[in-house]
Every structure is written in C-alpha cells, then in structure tokens.
Amino acid sequence: MKSLSKILTITLLYILTLNVSTFAMITEEVDVAVVGGGLAGLTAAVNLHEKGVKHSLYEAKETLGGRTYSVTTAEGTVFNMGGEWIDSDHKRMHALAQKLGLDLQKETYANPVLVALGGDTISMDDKIQLFESIVEKLKRVIKGMKQSPLDYYQAGTEVPYSRYKSLADILPGDLTEDERRTIEAYVEGSDGASTSDLQAPLIVSLKKDIKEFLDLFKYKQAETPQDQIDSVAFQHRVAGGMSTMIGALRDRLDGGNVHIGHRLTRIFKDTAERFHLIFDDGGEGREVIAKSVVMTIPFSVLRSITLDTTLALPKLCLDAINTLTYGTNAKIQIPLKEEEELTPFQYFVHGATKTLSWNPVSGKGLTIFMGGDTGKTLSEATAPPLAQSVLKQLGGTGGVREGLQIKNWSADPFAKGSYSTAGVNQSPKLGTPSNTHKGVRKFAEPVGGLVFAGEHTSLDYAAYMEGAVRSGELGAELAAQHLL
Ligand SMILES: Cc1cc2nc3c(=O)[nH]c(=O)nc-3n(C[C@H](O)[C@H](O)[C@H](O)COP(=O)(O)OP(=O)(O)OC[C@H]3O[C@@H](n4cnc5c(N)ncnc54)[C@H](O)[C@@H]3O)c2cc1C
C-alpha cells in the first residue's frame, strides 16, 4: 500500500509538472509572426493585414513604437523621444504619412544654425572660416589616399591602412581644437558614437555633411531668396509627433492580432519547418507556431535571445547579430516657460558639451541631442548641468529646471542603443549588399522563412525610420511569398 501511494503521489506530481511547463503555456498558430512593434514591425503587420495574410504581432513593451514615440506636456509641447527628422528623399516615410492621412511639417533653415565652441556663439564669418578649413583638411586626407576607404568598404574588403582603423585615426593631424570639437559634436550626434569607435571610411560622408553646412551658411550670407533656401535646406517632421504615426498604424490593425507585453525569449524550428517562438508574457508564457517570421528586434537585443541551431543561421548573419555596432544617442527635453525667450535658432552645435539642439515639434521647449560617452552616461545626475550649460548659451535663464524628460536609449533593455552605425570593430563585410534582395544588407537575407527587418537591415537607409519602413514593407512581401 505504501509503495502504491508513493507511486500515485509521484504520478500526480508528474502531471502537475507537465501542466505547469507544457499545458499552461498558451499555444497559438499563425501564418506569419511579426516580432517587435516599432516602425518596421507595424509597417510589416499593416502590409500583411492588407494582403489578407493571417498574422500576429508580438511586442515586448506595453507600448508600441519602439524607438519612435512622442510625449506631450501639460502645456501642449510635443517632444519626440527617438526618431524625428524625415529627409526629403525618404520617400517611403512621406508615402506612409500620406497613406495614413498625417500632415508633415516642413522645417526650413530659416533661422540660423548657431555654433558655440568654448565660449559664446561665433559670428557667421567665423563659422564659414571654421567649416571651410575643416572641409579643406578633410579633402586633403581623402585625396592623399590611393583609393578612398569608402571604395574598400563598399567592395566589402578591409581598408589596407592598419593605422586608419577608426575615424579618429584618419582625421587630419593639424585640426585646431575648435575644428576637432565641431567634428566631434557633429559626429557623436549624427553617427551616435565617438570618432574612435567609428570606422575610418566615414571620413567621406563627414566631409560631405560639413560641406553641406558650409553651403547653408553661404546661402544665408548671400541672402539668397527664401524659396531657394527652402529648396535645398529642409526636413520634415510628423505634425503632432511620432506617436501620432504609431497610433495611426495601430488603428489599421485588427486589435486581436496585436500582443503587447510579449517578450521573445527563444526561437527554434521543428522538422516540419515551422518556427516555434517562446514568449514571456508575464504569466504562463505563450508559444507561437508560425510558418514564417518577420524578425524586427534590433541586433543589439537579439544577440541575447536564444536562437536555436535548428534555425541554421549563416555565419555572416550570426556575426552581424553578435557584433553590429549601435550608437548611444540620447535626448534631454526641456519644457520652457511661456515668458522664456531663447535666441532664435534652428540648429545649435555646442562644442563644449558635444551636443546638438533644436526646437520641439510644437510648443515651447528645447531638445538636446547627444551621442558617444555623453549619451551613454546620460542620467538624472548628468542631465541638469548639461541642460543648463546649453540653455545659458542660448540666452535662457539658469537655475534648476522642472520637468526635464531624459531618454537614454542605451539603457533601454529593448533597444540597447540608438541606431546601427559603422563601428570600428566590425568587418566591412557587414556593409556588403545582398545580391538577391534589393536594398538589403547581405547579412540580413531571409533564412528559410525567417525574414529579418528593421532599420539595421537596410542597405541605404540604415539608422533611419525610412530604413525601418522599407524593411517592413519588404519583410511583409517576403513572408507572404514564403507561404505560397
Ligand atoms: C535618439 C534617436 C534619434 C533618432 N533620430 C532619427 C531621426 O531624426 N530620423 C530618422 O529617420 N531616424 C532617427 N532615429 C532612428 C529611428 O528611430 C529608428 O531607425 C527606427 O525607429 C527603428 O525602427 P525599427 O522598427 O527598426 O526598430 P525599433 O523601433 O527598435 O522596433 C523594435 C521593437 O522590438 C521590440 N523588442 C525588443 N526586444 C523584444 C523582444 N525580446 N520581444 C519582442 N519585442 C521586442 C522593441 O521594444 C521595439 O518596439 C533616431 C533614433 C534615436 C534612438
């Protein structure tokens, strides 16, 4: 009798264990699982919805939008906490706004670009001189090479100059302190990392960008008619902020197919070539079985998720997942009081703090943008003195600021960085184009129904919202094709 009750107890325990580990986990089957609810994932889901493909979207956070969202203060000021500016050639972003019926605000450089290095903002003549000198020095370095590093980079071969490993190594040795600070403020903002963490070939695009600023100053100085300035120097932002766009995308989806609070922890493939995705949903968990997957999780995060060997990911793809460099951009948003007036400006390069600043989408405030170590270490402690330093230069009042909004993207566990960038430690091969899929980086080619999407997969628009949207559109198409 004793042994029979022992057997019964063991059996009961076994059944209970099975219940917890297997049966309690919700299992669902879909044709396509979209992982990640940022711009790429939402675009993919909307496209699949329009194609009538059975799909579901799974997002780890309780909110959608990923690296794009906006906040509106009680006073009505709208700040974008992540992605914000849309270039004139970002055609899919323009098309998406139009499709969703959203207004894009055109923002010209009607107000000046201000530059302050150690002390006060410098005059237009000094700016022109500073930028002209930088362009000349960069040109000299580029000309002095047998072949531009960009040629090697695009060919996917190593730059043969070992001493030119990083952008810092290749910068002209005779830059003045002011020139170096200007370059560092600009590069840390736009590329997200410090010059010593970025690849040498970026010197080519750096020269192009600085030259564009120079042209801008010259247009202003020559008092070129406004319409001409408008035609060369403008960008767009979504009126009402990026959360307006995210909300409009969300409204296009069937709510039952969108699962927030679902963090992917593991993915594997069975012998019937179906994908199994295991999610932590804060409860018993969810297992999703899908014929195809659109995977939009940034590689900075994907590298810590269990990717089973059954997925048979190629070495290049695994290398990219494990090593792709991400910038460390961060933002401080400062609401301003109604009576507080700053010096009118469009864009402010502040060399002393290595930050770039601009106005919010609407209302009174100031956005301070940074990268490199300043972005990586941005915290409740470092933000107030930095904000005060920038505000002081723009004629704002000093003192402790209320209501600062700080967003350090490197510290966000679902982003672990701002956007992909050309890091010094990564092989140029990561920039190689796919031969089979237009506009895609080779490492991001689909692997048997597992389709990679997200800004980082885009060949020409990596780092941008444009890249995310393009990859989402293509991702939906490739996933749907896989079902045929
Ligand atoms: C500070 C900053 C400024 C920027 N400025 C600009 C700009 O001016 N112009 C521009 O074009 N671009 C800009 N960008 C870049 C732009 O925001 C991104 O390129 C774009 O938003 C990326 O979209 P995505 O869908 O590829 O990735 P994401 O938005 O990161 O989406 C991925 C989603 O996956 C989710 N996720 C992560 N882990 C898991 C998991 N385990 N399970 C399930 N879901 C998960 C994330 O929460 C996220 O929602 C900026 C970015 C930052 C951070």
Q: How far is the CA of 220 from the centre of ligand 1 (A)?
A: 35
pLDDT in tens, 409-456: 999 999 999 999 988 866 667 878 899 999 999 999 999 999 999 999
**CB-facing half-sphere around the CA of 69: CA atoms within 13 A:** 14
- What pLDDT, on a 0 to 100 scale, did the predictor assign at position 451? 98
pLDDT value for 134: 96
For 210, phi then psi, to 5°, come to: -65, -35
Name the residue range of residue 308's domain: 7-66+243-324+426-483
**Could you say which of 189, 205, 232 is where a domain stops?**
232
pLDDT at 279: 97
Residue 293 sits in the same domain as residue 224: no
The tens digit of pLDDT for each residue in 119-133 reads 778 888 888 999 999
Global pTM? 0.90
Task: With a cut of 90, say whether residue 160 has pLDDT above it.
Answer: no
The number of distinct structural domains making up the chain is 2
* Residue 403 in domain: no
Which of 68, 321, 410 for mutating ligand 1's site (highest number of atoms within 8 Å of CB)? 68
Within-domain flag for 88: no
Say how far apart CA 401 and CA 186 lie, in whole Å.
26
Quote the ligand 1 centre to 415 CA distance (angstroms).
Answer: 7
Report the atom number in ligand 1 closest to the C-alpha of 43.
25
pLDDT at 334 over 90: yes
pLDDT value at 144 more than 90 = no
pLDDT tens-digit map of 48-84: 999 999 999 999 999 999 999 999 998 899 999 999 9
DSSP conformational letter for 316: H
Calculate mean pLDDT across residues 130-155.
Answer: 78
State which H helix or E strand residue 102 sits in: none
Tokens of 100: 């969703």
Ramachandran sector of residue 155 (left: φ over 0; alpha: ψ -120 to 50; beta: rest) = alpha
Of all residues in the chain, the percent with pLDDT exceeding 70 is 85
Is residue 163, in this structure, part of any structural domain at all? Answer: yes
Q: What is the pLDDT of residue 13?
A: 45
Shared domain check, 177 and 276: no
pLDDT over 80 (residue 290): yes
**Which atom of ligand 1 is nearest the CA belonging to 65?**
49
Per DSSP, the three-state class of 230 is: helix
Distance CA 355, CA 257 (A): 41
Q: Is the distance from CB of 369 to CB of 189 less than 8 angstroms?
A: yes
Which of 190, 264, 297 best tests ligand 1's pocket when mutated (most atoms within 8 Å of CB)? 297
